[in-house]
Structure 1
């Protein structure tokens, strides 16, 4: 069954074999950017020097374009990129949103710690925190 699928992809020119010894990550990165598509991989890409793209660019891009996957009894399960960035953020109202690490880091399991500034009348309490989804 897998061989038939690969043959179908080959016949449709949907596969590209990278040259031996070449860094294949540069190929899929180029295609993903050129065609504005998502990439399906569990590879966290830590072993390559994407710092050439700047300190913040590649991690932000990867966060929005990488689809993780796992296998269940019913087949593969895909974990789409989060609908919003999962970095610490401050809203216009001064509320802080801090992502809490989940076991698999999948968006469906993501929890946030929301921290808000206390009211001016509450002297001596600058912040109050509540845990939950924001």
Structure 2
């Protein structure tokens, strides 16, 4: 006979140690979705719920493309130019560090000019990656 049965048998109120208490302010967790309730993101392939309107992982890819020189070019289909911009970031970074030491830290701002130039070029260059047939949009 366990402690809880012994205290109930004698008519005593069980103590907190003996009671099984479930208390939480958190709402109950939704049930896990099965494979039939999910769809793959058309851009990155991440599994999403069927009723999702947008992917939560694609935003991270866009953020990485905007902060890493050359990824925007690779995304638009200019692979060689993207790798050149990435390779150019190394000597620019070294120059920026030297300028930062020489100017008490103000030289770190030079790297943002480099990032701005890469972003403007990636924005203005034409896309080489054509959209798929099903992504052409709706006809009215």
Q: What is the TM-score when the length of structure 2 is the normalising length?
A: 0.20
Greater helix fraction, Structure 1 or Structure 2 = 2
Q: Highest CA radius of gyration, 1 or 2?
A: 2
Higher relative contact order (CA 8 A, sep 6+): 2
